[in-house]
Chain A
Amino acid sequence: MSTSKKRLGSIVRHGLLGIWAIFALFPLIWMLIMTFKSEADVMTTTFIFTPTLDNYRQVLLQSDYLRFFTDSVITSVGAVLISVLLGVPAAYALARYKFKYKEGLAFQILSFRFAPELLVVLPLFMIYQRMGLHDTYLGLIWVYQLISMPLIIWVVRGYFEDISVEIEHAAQVDGYNWWQVFMKTLVPLIKPGLVSSALLAFIFVWNSFTFPLMLSGFNVSPVTVAAMRFLASHTVQYGQMAVAATISALPAVVFALLIQKHLVRGLSFGAVKG
């Protein structure tokens, strides 16, 4: 191929990528701009306005937003932690041991992700009300397992399956007991998959809306649901809502940027069997 053709191809490619980037990022940018607009400017489409921090002041200082943010952090981190603590051993068992209905069980775990959340949330609501789990941290963390656990189990299981059993045996002969083998030789090997699936699970849980909408209340309320509050009052506070949305999107965006290199590799490595 001649250089001019190559250049043309490169221009087209970058052009298309540019269009995609604008399409994907524009809502985010629009939202960001909205946060700096005053109530009067919010509905205009001009980019020329007097920036104001009023919305931030309102949301961060004069509302319960920070409390909701903390609720989100507690429930998301708690959910992912429990998923890791229970999911990694489960993934190990599914990868290493032979037992009855193993594949069925693995599929069952995965199928938690199939059911539309709306379908299960109503019965869950009733159950939670009866059990006193409604509007509690524990209740949310529990229901979030439906989102985070399958992801972690399936990704990490693929990693365990890729590790030769002989490595475990080698470590045993080398003087490690089972626990040390697990922590010191296996965990480092599954780390890329564990970290990326855990972070992805965190993002999914953080963004979850349907479950907390029904299962949380005034005591515990993650940001996704809390942002709705700005709609609920008699006037719609678009500027404040934008601030709430921006801040609640931050962790997901930051994490995604931080791990993007590992994310693709981490999630695809275990899945492709040689």
Chain B
Amino acid sequence: MAKLRIENLYKRYDLKGKKKKNAKLNDFAVNNLSLDCEEGEFVALLGPSGCGKTTTLRMIAGLEDITDGGIYIGDELVNNLHPKDRHIGLAFEDYALYPPLKVYENIAFNMRAKGAKNDEVHRRVMEIAPLLKVEDLLDKMPVKLSGGQKQRVNIARAIVRNPKLLLMDEPLSHLDGKMRQELRTEIKRLHNKIKCTSVYVTHDQLEAMSLADRIAIMDLGVLQQFGTPLEIYDDPVNEFVAAFIGEPPMNILKTTIAKIESEFYFTFEDSELRILVPNRYYDLLSDGMVVKMGVRPMDVIIGKEDSKGEPVKVAVFENLGDERRIGVHVGDKLFMLITSEEVRYKQGQSIKLEVRAEKTHLFDIETGLRIRN
């Protein structure tokens, strides 16, 4: 077990000829990434595909050259170490089990490659197998296993070597819904048991939120925010993070602030909807200012008859049993509201909306950065 420190990491793929001349800053697959993972911490690298998260993981593993910057495992700079000398375990997206070897030999492979003695190998495999519930599979060939079983073996193979750092590259992305949930719980349980510093790459925010101690959200090679799941959920630094985290996603809409009778309202193009702006933003706003407002569907409240603001017609009403979802059109977008109250609406019925003051965020229209007070 060890700390992981990433300092000003850059990755740029080789560009040739014409492309090289037109190279821009955003050609970096990873752009000035700095991260610190504490000992035993579970960190998720989260982002859409092409955001550089897998490239980062592969650089930590040593499968990809580093353009600039430093990666430290423990206190050791590992930039130029061969993958085998970095004391890492890597669980692959496609499982990458050796087809001609039985599960037992697959798990033992690493120790055999390092020349461990037979009884040592046996002891260790037998120790790890129950942890991942693969003890009944040891005699099988990888082709006979289901996706979930393969991934268990894959992870077993990664941890059998007692790695300083456990890296996982979208381990659940090829599994179906139920298996994915089950294995997610298993990974959590496993981490609590072995407490190995872990880096987990995923594009699934639910996985990141449920597994990680801290989440690093990346986009276009740039780290957007690094914090606990709750920080990221409640206090996103910019529009990208706000939109990426949460299911259903946050309502983020372009809005023009209108001052009416000394009160500020969010008004929207092509919509009658008008929502009262929470008091706490009054210092920052002026009449006619254009910003983006973001509020999660759970933080939108159905207004009362005498609430301030203008009503709008209900476009969608879904009763999901334990919650009800109401959608209204704002321009060509759908503004969602989720409530657990027992309410019933018909399409076309008028509804007034309010927002929870402390859960409503403003974003700069140009940069997408949070406007804070």
Contacts and interface: CB of A to CB of B under 8 A. Distances in A.
B63 A172 contact: yes
B114 A166 contact: no
Nearest to A168: B96
Contacts of A164: 92, 94, 96
Interface string A176-203: 1100100001001100000000000000
A169 B95 CA distance: 11
A170 B93 CA distance: 11
Interface in B59-98: 61-63, 82-84, 88-90, 92-98
Interface secondary structure of A, over-half rule? helix
A189 B100 contact: yes
A166 B93 contact: yes
B88 A189 contact: no
B321 interface: no
Scoring A164, A169, A172, A173 by chain B CB atoms within 10 A of each residue's CB, the highest score goes to A173
Interface residues of B, number: 24
Scoring A166, A167, A176 by chain B CB atoms within 10 A of each residue's CB, the highest score goes to A166
B345 interface: no
A184 to B, nearest CB: 8
Contacts of B110: 173-175
Contacts of A173: 61-63, 83-84, 88-90, 110
A166 B170 CA distance: 13
B113 A170 contact: no
B29 to A, nearest CB: 16
A170 B90 contact: yes
B109 interface: yes
Scoring B82, B96, B157 by chain A CB atoms within 10 A of each residue's CB, the highest score goes to B96
B99 interface: yes
Nearest to A176: B113
Contacts of A180: 113
Interface in B32-67: 58, 61-63
B100 A188 contact: yes
Contact of B84 (A166, A176, A189): A176
Given A188-B100, A189-B100, A172 B94 contact: no
Interface string A151-171: 000000000000010110111
B215 to A, nearest CB: 24
Given A172-B63, A176-B113, A167 B96 contact: yes
B354 to A, nearest CB: 51
A169 B90 contact: yes
B141 to A, nearest CB: 13
A170 B92 contact: yes
Interface of B: 58, 61-63, 82-84, 88-90, 92-100, 109-110, 113-114, 157
Nearest 3 pairs of A and B residues by beta carbon: A166-B96, A175-B84, A175-B113
Given A164-B94, A169-B90, 7 more contacts: A169-B58, A169-B92, A170-B92, A170-B98, A171-B113, A173-B110, A185-B98
